[in-house]
Amino acid sequence: MTTIPPDNQRAPSGYLSEEHKRKFTITAGIFGAIFFIVQFILPFGLMMAVMPGMMFFHDSWMEIANPERGAFWNDRIWYTGTSLSPKKPDGSRVTLKSLKVVGEEDPEDIGLLPMENPWLLAGADGLWIISSSKVGFFQDGNINLISEEKVLGEISRPFLYEGHPAVIEEGPNGFAFVVWVDGTWQRRASFTLKLQERLGRIQDSFQVVSRDEKLHLFLKFGDTLYYREGLPVGETDDQDPWRPISEVKKDWFAVLMDGEPAVFLQETSEFPSKVVGLKLQGETWKSFFSYDAEMTTEMGIYPLGQPGKFAILRQSFPGSLRLVQVDGGKVLKEIHHGRGFPIPGFFGVIMLGFYGPTLLLPLVLAVILSSLMKKHRICQHEAGSVTMPFASITRRALSQIIDFFVLGAPAIAGALLLFPIFDIEKMFSSGPPFLPVIGLMFGEIFWGIFCLFAYSFLEGRWGITPGKWVVGIRVLGTDLLPCGFGRALVRNLLKFIDGFFNFMVGILLAALTENWQRVGDMAARTVVVRVKREMALDVE
C-alpha cells in the first residue's frame, strides 16, 4: 500500500522536489532576465565596438557626385565626387572622375584633388580645376597645382574669356569680374547689385557664359531667373535692368547651345521634377526641350560640340547618377550609374551583423533551459494510463524556426521576384508600382491565412506541422488525444503573445508552467510531447 507523504513533504506539481523548484525558478529567472537585457544591449554594444573600426578601414561610406561642377572635354564628361571618409581630418575627400558619353562604362576615378569644392572648366588642351583658394590643371593624366595662395572670395562657376579662365567673385563691397592670366587673377571690372544683400550664395545664384568676348549673365533671385548681356554699366546695374526669363524652383544651368545662350531649369521643387531648356531667340526666351527628370537633386548640362546634341548628368540619391543623351531635343538614351539608394551596401551587412545575434538568443536560452529542466522538472505528462515525454523547449524552438521558413519562403520568393522591377528613385517620386505591390500584399495575406488554417488542421488532426514532423514532436490535448481544429486554431492565434521579444515570453512560460505550456497551450488546453519517429532529428 502506497504511503502518501504529508503535504509539507509532497513535491510541487511538475518538479522533482521543492528544492528543485526553488533552484530552477531562481536560475531560470536569472537567465531570462539576462537574455532580455542582452537582447536590447547587444546590438548597441556591438555597434559601439565595431563601427569605429569599420568606418576607419572603409575608404568612404557615402559619395556625393557634383555634376553641376563638371565640364565636357576630350569626348568625356568630367566631374567631381565628394566622399565622406573618416580617414580624413575634415571627414571628406574630392575625386576627379570621368565618364564616357557613348557606351555604358561606369565612371572612372582619375585622382584625388588637393582642394575643396572645385569647379571644372574645359580648356584648349586640358582641364582647369578652380576653387577660391587654388588653381590646378589636368593634362596628360596628371593633376598639376598651379597656385596655392588664397586670393579670391566666393566665386561663380568659371567660364572662358578670351581663352582664359574667368569668374565672378563676390566680396564684401560687391562683385568683381576676374580673369586668370599668367598665373594670377586679374580684376577687370567691379560692380554692385541692388539685390546683393538678399541674394543666396553666388555659386547658386550667378552664372556667366561668354561668346565672342561678350558676357551673358544669369541671376537667380528668389524663384525668378533673370538675364542680361554684358556687365552692369559703371558700378551699378541701374541703367540696364535685368530681364526675367522664367520661374525656377530648384537647380538651373546656363550654357552656350549651338552658339546661343541657353538655360536649363527645374520648374518644380517637388518630385517628380521637370527639366526645361530655354534658348534666347531675338528678345524672347523660348522652350526647346522638356524632360521628366523624376527625382533630381543636382544636374549638369554639357553641349557635345555637335548641333542639337547635349548630355544631362543628373544625380538623385547621393552617388546615383543618370546620363541622359539628347539629340534634336529628343532623349535618345538614359544610362544609370552608381547605387540606387544613398546607404552603401556594406551598411546593411553591418546592421545585420549587429542585430543578427539577437535572433539566436532565444534558441540559446531554449537550450540552456532545456538542460536545466531535465535536472529539476518532471519530464513526462500522464493522462489516465497513458504517459508521454514532454517535448524539450529546444525541439519546439527548432520546429518553430522550420515552420517560419515554410511560412515565409513564398513571401520572400515573391519579394525577390518583384525586386528587379522596383526603382527606388521612381518610388520616391511617384510611389511603388500599384499592381505588383497589391498583388504581393494580397498574396502574402492569403498565404498567411492559408498557413494558419492548414497548420491548425494538421495540429488538430495529427498534432504536427512541417517543423514538428521534422523534429519529432506533437501537439495533443491534455488528455493526450488529438485536440481538434478549434483548439489548435486558438493555440495558433495566441502565438503573437508568446512571440513577444523573439518568443522569449513563450520560452519562459513553457519552462516555468506545470505542463510546459505557453499562453496558447494554456488557453487551448494542449501540451507538446515527444514522439519516437525514425525521421525525427535527435536534438534535445
Domains of the chain: 30-36+355-530 (no CATH), 117-337 (2.120.10.70)
Q: Name the DSSP class of 333.
A: E
Q: How many CA atoms lie within 13 A of 483 on its CB side?
A: 31
- Phi and psi for 437 in degrees, rounded to 5? -65, -45
Spatial contact of 511 and 28, defined as CB atoms under 8 Å apart: yes
Spatial contact of 128 and 141, defined as CB atoms under 8 Å apart: no
User: Whole-angstrom Cα distance, residue 122 to residue 70?
Assistant: 9
User: Whole-angstrom Cα distance, residue 453 to residue 461?
Assistant: 12
Joined grid coordinates for residue 41: 544591449
Beta bridge partners of 128: 121, 137
User: Whole-angstrom Cα distance, residue 215 to residue 197?
Assistant: 23
- Phi and psi for 142 in degrees, rounded to 5? -115, 140
Phi-psi region of 338 (alpha: psi -120 to 50; beta: other; left: phi over 0): left
pLDDT (tens place) for every residue of the chain, 540 residues total: 434 445 455 678 889 999 999 999 999 999 999 998 888 887 777 777 766 655 555 555 677 899 999 999 999 999 999 886 655 555 578 899 999 998 888 899 999 998 888 999 999 899 999 999 899 999 988 999 888 676 788 999 999 999 999 999 998 888 999 999 988 999 999 988 876 556 778 888 999 999 888 999 999 988 889 999 988 765 555 545 788 999 888 889 999 998 899 999 987 766 667 899 999 888 889 999 998 877 788 899 999 989 999 999 998 888 789 999 999 989 999 998 876 655 555 565 666 666 777 888 899 999 999 999 999 999 999 998 899 999 999 999 999 999 988 887 777 777 666 665 555 666 655 555 666 667 777 888 888 899 899 999 999 999 999 999 999 999 999 999 999 999 999 999 999 899 888 899 999 999 999 999 999 999 999 999 999 764 443 434
Beta bridge partners of 84: 62, 92
Type of residue found at 375? K
Write down how long the chain is. Answer: 540
Three-class DSSP labels, 132-196: CCCEEEEECCEEEEEECCCCCCEECCCEEECCEEEEEEEECCEEEEEEEECCEEEEEEEECCCCH
| 133: CB partners within 8 A, 6+ apart | 115, 116, 148, 149, 150, 152
The SS3 of residue 308 is coil
Measured CA distances, 393 to 17, 55, 263, 342 (Å): 21, 40, 70, 43
- Other Cβ atoms less than 10 A from the Cβ of 420: the count is 7
Q: Where are the beta strands (DSSP E) in 267-329?
A: 273-281, 284-294, 298-303, 309-315, 321-327
Type of residue found at 292? D
The SS3 of residue 201 is coil
Joined grid coordinates for residue 94: 574630392
